[in-house]
Structure 1
Amino acid sequence: MNEGLVVVVRAIISFFTLLILTKFLGKEQISQLTFFDYILGITIGSIASEATVDLSSRAWPHFIGLVSWAGLAFLMQFITLKWRYAAKVIEGEPTIVIMNGKIMENVLRKMKFRISDILTLLRNQGIFDLNEVDYAILEPNGSLSVLKKAEYLPLTPKDMNIPVKPTGISTELVYDGVLIEENLRQMNKDKKWLLSQLKKYGINDISEAFLVTLNDAGSLYVDKYKDNIKKVKDIGDYKGPH
Structure 2
Amino acid sequence: MQAWLEVALRTLLSVVILFFMTKLLGKRQISQLSLFEYITGITIGSLAAYISLDLEATWYLGIVSLIVWVGVSLGIELLQLKSKTMRNLIDGTTTTLIKDGKIMEDNLKKERLTNEELLEQLRSKNIFKVADVEFAVIEPSGEVNVLLRRENQPMTPKHLGIKVGPEQEPQAVILDGKIMDEPLATIGLNRAWLNTELEKLGVSVDNVFVGQVDSYGQLFVDLFDDQIKVPVPQKKAALYATLKKCEADLEMFGLATESKQAKEMYEQCAKQLQNVISDVKPILHR
Residue aligned with 2:135, SS:
strand
TM-score by length of 1: 0.69
Given the superposition, is the C-alpha separation of residues 183 and 61 from structure 1 closer, same or farther in structure 2, using an over 3 Å criterion? Answer: same
- Deviation for aligned residue 1:67: 1.0
Change (3 A) 1:215 1:76: farther
Q: CA deviation at 1:159?
A: 2.5
Q: Distance in 2 between matches of 1:193 and 1:19?
A: 39
Query: Counterparts of 1:1-242 in structure 2 under 5 Å?
Result: 2-160=2-160, 161=162, 181-183=207-209, 187-188=220-221, 194-195=227-228
Q: Tell me how far apart the structure 2 counterparts of residues 168 and 49 of structure 1 sit (CA, whole Å).
A: 43
Taking a change above 3 Å as real, the CA distance of residues 60 and 147 of structure 1, as seen in their structure-2 partners, is same
SS at match of 2:156: coil
Q: Distance in 1 between matches of 2:142 and 2:211?
A: 42
Instruction: Name the CA distance, whole Å, in 2 between partners of 1:11 and 1:105.
Output: 49
- Whole-angstrom distance in 2 between the partners of 1:191 and 1:19: 36
What is the DSSP-based 3-state SS (H/G/I as helix, E as strand, rest coil) of the residue aligned with 1:71? helix
Paired residues of 1:34 and 1:142 also in contact (CA < 8 A)? no
Over the residues paired in the alignment, what is the CA RMSD in angstroms? 3.3
Larger RCO, structures 1/2 (Cα 8 Å, 6+ apart): 1
CA distance in 2, matches of 1:185, 1:54: 52
Q: 1:60 corresponds to which letter in structure 2?
A: Y
Q: Measure, in 2, the Cα distance between the counterparts of 1:156 and 1:144.
A: 24
**Unaligned 5+ runs, structure 2:** 173-205, 213-219, 237-286
- Please list every run of 5 or more consecutive structure 1 residues that lacks an aligned counterpart in the other structure: 172-179, 198-213, 219-242
Aligned length: 195
Q: TM-score by structure 2 length?
A: 0.60
The structure with the greater share of residues assigned to helix is 2
Q: Residues of 2 paired with 1:104 and 1:188: CA distance?
A: 49
Higher radius of gyration, 1 or 2: 2
SS in structure 1 of the partner of residue 146 of structure 2:
strand
